Amino acid sequence: MTRTITIIAMAVLLGPVSVSAQLRGRDVTDLDASNSGRGRGANPAAKTPKEAAPIDLTGYWVSIVSEDWRFRMVTPPKGDYPNFLLNPAGAKLANEWDAAKDEAGKDHCKAYGAPNIMRVPGRFHITWADDRTLKIETDAGQQTRLLRFGAPAANAQAAPPSRQGTSVAQWERNALRVDTRNLLPGYLQSNGVPFSANLTMLEYFDVIKEPGGEVWIIDDAVITDPAYLVRSVKRSTHLRKQADAAGWDPQPCMVR
């Protein structure tokens, strides 16, 4: 009897702990930390991020612009940014945007930085640059994002700010989580909606399949920039998988 009660009690106590995998908030499983191969006790059989990928993001993908059409397919007029809640500093910059000045300058790629590039209509080619780095190339603006698994080593020299910034990737359940910072200031929208160098972006990349066979990447982005935004911007972008590189058309950045 005592034995039976003990068995039942232990099952009750221990059973639910690992049975429930219900997600009630961030559920970070840093596969990369355990698979890094660095430090003591590294598991020689650990998978690389490429091997451990729960979803396949590789291939050619195309923007299907069924949302925000007039903000993405054309450059909207100055001052037209209803999707964004800008603070006075941000609104001032947005309302003073000068397209001609940008065109006369050398940098036409301010709207092609990481916080906006996934929303620029175009095609995307995603590959593994190596076992620990996913590479996203775009034909629009000919940009390259490198999503590196694992935090930079403590003694590594910080990369200078760049248009695509520094992106740290990790698998989180069945999705790819990407944290991006270290950006050059740029635009959240092609008509000069500004973001600062302090912007941080959290993305989740999911892959879904429709009954008709179409495969989609859903890129969920949360953009935080207290310098210009009253609150974080959340937007999700859908890209449809293509069988091949059809339509791949590298173009330079354009102001308008």
Partner 1 sequence: MFKWAAGTLAACVVLGAVPASAQSNLSGVWNNLGILNEDWPDRLPGPELGDYAGLPVTDAVRARADAWDASLITLPEYQCRVHPSDYVSSFAGLRIWEERDSASQQLVAIHTHHFAWGTERTIWMDGRPHPPEYAIHTAMGFSTGKWEGDILAVTTTHLKEGWTRRNGLTRSDSATVTEHFIRHGDTLTLVISVVDPKYYTEPVVRSRDYEYEVNGDIGPYPCEPVEEILRPNGAIPHHLPGANPFLTEYAKAHGIPLEAARGGAETMYPEYRKKMAAMPKPDGAAK
**Between 103 and 130, CB nearer to partner 1:** 103
| Per-residue contact flags (x/-) with partner 1 for residues 46 to 65, judged by CB under 8 A | --------x-------xxxx
Give the whole-angstrom CA distance, residue 43 versus residue 36: 9
Give the whole-angstrom CA distance, residue 204 versus residue 222: 9
Tokens 């950045």: give the residue.
253
Beta-carbon contacts of residue 256 (< 8 Å; ≥ 6 apart): 75, 99, 103, 190
Give the shortest CB-24-to-partner 1 separation in angstroms: 6
Stretch that binds partner 1, among 34-42, 99-107, 127-135, 171-179 (CB under 8 A): 171-179
**Between 134 and 233, CB nearer to partner 1:** 233
Give the shortest CB-95-to-partner 1 separation in angstroms: 16
Percentages helix, strand, coil for the chain (3-state, rounded to 5) are: 20, 30, 50
Instruction: With beta carbons less than 8 A apart as the criterion, state whether 94 and 186 touch.
Output: no
DSSP class of residue 224 equals: E
Q: Site residues (CB under 8 A) for partner 1? A: 3, 6-7, 10-11, 13-15, 17-26, 54, 62-70, 73-74, 76-77, 80, 82-84, 121-123, 139-140, 172-175, 177, 204, 206, 208-212, 214, 216, 218, 220, 222, 231-238, 240, 247, 249
